[in-house]
Amino acid sequence: MAAIKAEPFAFPVKYDQLALIVIDMQRDFAEPGGFGASLGNDVSRIGRIVPDVRRLIQGFRYAGLPVIHTMECHRPDLSDLPPAKRNRGNPVLRIGDEGPMGRILIRGEPGTAILPELAPINGEVIIEKPGKGAFYATGLGEILQQKGIKQLVFAGVTTEVCVQTTMREANDRGYECLLAEEATESYFPEFKAATIAMIRAQGAIVGWTAHVDDILESITHA
């Protein structure tokens, strides 16, 4: 059986059931003036993973494997934004406010767009999600089922919030999950490290983690 070198042990890969999910690589989280910066974060940390995320996306494309992108965003009327989400933290700009790149995390605004270096191509699925997890209030589950996908490789941001939430949602739904370590990031390095440890603890209780190079080496044989 084919496998990807991973922790805590090799990931038993089934190429005909494998897809990449790239979580929320958006301008609002990675560029000055966006939501991430409004919370006081060093957004340059997100920019550093772009080359590895790009390599991973290209590798999946070359192998003919599905790439799915997610975008955290809300309706312009904020009808899908609960106060419990909008009122958290102490940002300079809250979701829905007007910022340098348009309204923060609002569908169709410039800041909500995926970074141009990582932009989806024709045929790739884009999931617009109002929550942290990509299964909540979206059609992701149905899309994966239609495509026969049962194994998911994850990249994107932030490791401990939207990435981990989606991995846990996927795990509960029976998917085997693998996190690409260099292709995910947090504004807090200690949170990324802790999340990686939690994911692969107790015999991959949530999933596996692997290096981008090892993932790419394996999928060249897909």
CA distance 89 to 45: 20
CA distances from 114 to 6, 85, 128 (A): 28, 22, 11
CA distance 94 to 48: 25
Q: Which residues contact 140 (CB under 8 A, 6 or more apart)?
A: 68, 70, 127, 129, 134
Catalytic residues: 24, 129, 162
Do 93 and 99 touch, CB atoms closer than 8 A? yes
Do 120 and 21 touch, CB atoms closer than 8 A? no
